Amino acid sequence: MVKSFKFKIIIRTLLLTATILLLAYLIFKMDFIFVTITVGLLAVAQVFSIIHFAEKTNRDLSRFLLSIKYDDTSQAFTSDGLGTSFSELKQAFSVVMHKLQETRSLEEVNARYLQTILHHIGTGIIVYRQDGTINLINNAAKKILKISLLKNINDLQHKYPKLADALLHLKQNEKRLLNLRMDNETGYLSIYSHPFVIKEDKNTLISIQNIKEELEEKELEAWQNLIRVLTHEIMNSITPISSMTSTMLGMIDKEDETINPDDIKDLIDALKTINSRSHGLMEFVSNYRNMTLIPTPKFKLLSIQSFFKRIEMLMNNTLTEHNISFRWRVEPESLEFTVDPDLMEQVMINLILNAIHAVEGKINPEINLTAMLGIEGGSIITVQDNGVGIVEEALEKIFIPFFTTKKQGSGIGLSLSRQILRLHHATISVDSKPDVGTTFTLKFT
């Protein structure tokens, strides 16, 4: 207890009392003025010493709070033998500082980890403030844009004005495909924008991907699929026409130049077949032209509820004829979207006709239309039936032009619908289980 806080206070108090008594004695004697002044100064010094000693805890607490405020974990706190209560307090300070050091070290490790990932992923990342100042740009973004340094997003105006304009005018969570000329090469950039706020500072995160190789691969695959379909359809028509033409020439090219009635009948049948296959080939070419001549959409704001009513009116006779239960639902009822009504009507009719074909022969056939708000905004429309479903092998092919699972069908309905939806910046997807049903989902941004 010799070094305890209380003992030191008592000792200091007793010394101060003794000094004050001595000072009073000297004042009454008035014989030793110099000594009296010295003792007086000593008493004042002792008072300040006691105050300084007593306020040491407050200073340590203030130092502790300031170290937290300024994230200074280098401070050390010792009890200096001031007693049990002070030792516990200083120990608590030390434990908190140690935890702060651990937290800070963990944050630095996580920051380095994230920085390593950020600079080694293949997707370009750019983060900039409202004034265009770049907060972050990773190596992938520099590589894609073929730049070594970028301080402000507006600096792109000199090298890529088209890209700079697109980045500055991207809407919230908007995705855009941009073709850009970079060092005598054309790149196809997929750009996505996401705004966020940190400490009231508005920032925009841009992700950039050069999808040129993927597009070229898909384009080649699409051409191969198209050529495969075209050659298949053309060969199916040309082969019988060529065969029958040779047969007819053989019938006519005779030395006696006479044709018996049976040959005439065979010639007539062959000509009918040629005519039928020619019409089939012409119809195929006509359907192909229809796919490439979609008119430019004329957008206008449309109530989904009124749109569904119009679809129900158009399809009512066909649905009644097949005894199909047809229901639709819109949540909320005031839901609207911006589309070309005529083109979207064509899409819905195609999907409902497919659903009618799918539920043919089913007990209690049903077709349901639903419209709702999407989780990420925009509208979602689903067309659901309880029909035969689509086998898994065909799910990946149903949007390929001229592919069909029907015995009689052109195979362009779903492909045409997808093209129309792309013109609306919308998507179409399908989920189907054999003998359970099929659901087509249309998502509008």
Dump pLDDT digits (tens) for 54-94: 666 666 677 777 777 766 766 666 655 555 555 666 677 67
Could you give the CA distance from residue 61 to residue 96 in angstroms, rounded to a whole number?
12
Nearest to 328 by CA among 348, 344, 342: 348
Q: Which two tokens stand for residue 147?
A: 């730049």
Could you give the CA distance from residue 216 to residue 429 in angstroms, rounded to a whole number?
23
Q: Is the confidence at residue 366, as pLDDT, over 90?
A: yes
Q: Are strands 201-210 and 124-129 parallel, antiparallel or unpaired?
A: antiparallel
Average pLDDT in the chain: 78
Q: Is the confidence at residue 408, as pLDDT, over 60?
A: no
Higher model confidence: residue 188 or residue 326? 326
Three-class DSSP category at 246: helix
Could you give the CA distance from residue 112 to residue 312 in angstroms, rounded to a whole number?
59
- Between 33-54 and 5-29, two packed helices, what is the crossing angle to 10 degrees? 160
Q: Is the confidence at residue 368, as pLDDT, over 90?
A: yes
Q: Is the confidence at residue 328, as pLDDT, over 90?
A: yes
Q: Are strands 366-373 and 426-433 parallel, antiparallel or unpaired?
A: unpaired
Could you give the CA distance from residue 308 to residue 246 in angstroms, rounded to a whole number?
55
Q: Are strands 336-339 and 366-373 parallel, antiparallel or unpaired?
A: unpaired
Residue 9 half-sphere exposure toward CB, CA atoms < 13 A: 11
Q: Is the confidence at residue 382, as pLDDT, over 50?
A: yes
> Which contacts (CB < 8 Å, 24+ apart) does range 229-237 have?
229/400, 229/401, 229/402, 229/403, 230/288, 233/281, 233/284, 233/402, 234/281, 234/284, 237/277, 237/278, 237/280, 237/281, 237/284
Residue the block writes with tokens 């065979």: 266
Q: Which two tokens stand for residue 322?
A: 């097949």
Q: Which residues contact 398 (CB under 8 A, 6 or more apart)?
A: 390, 405, 414, 430
Helix H or strand E segment including 177: strand 175-182
Average pLDDT over residues 421-431: 88
Higher model confidence: residue 267 or residue 284? 267
Chain segment 147-187, per-residue pLDDT in tens? 888 888 888 888 888 888 888 788 877 788 887 777 656 67
Chain segment 189-210, per-residue pLDDT in tens? 888 888 888 877 888 888 888 8
Average pLDDT over residues 357-376: 89
Q: Which two tokens stand for residue 379?
A: 């509208």
Which pTM does this prediction carry?
Answer: 0.46
Of 31-35, 50-54, 337-341, give the range with the top mean pLDDT: 337-341
Question: How does residue 2 score in pLDDT terms, banded at 50, 70 and 90?
Answer: very low
Chain segment 85-128, per-residue pLDDT in tens? 556 666 776 777 778 778 878 888 887 888 888 877 888 888 88
The alpha carbon of residue 382 and the mean position of all alpha carbons in its chain are separated, in whole angstroms, by 21
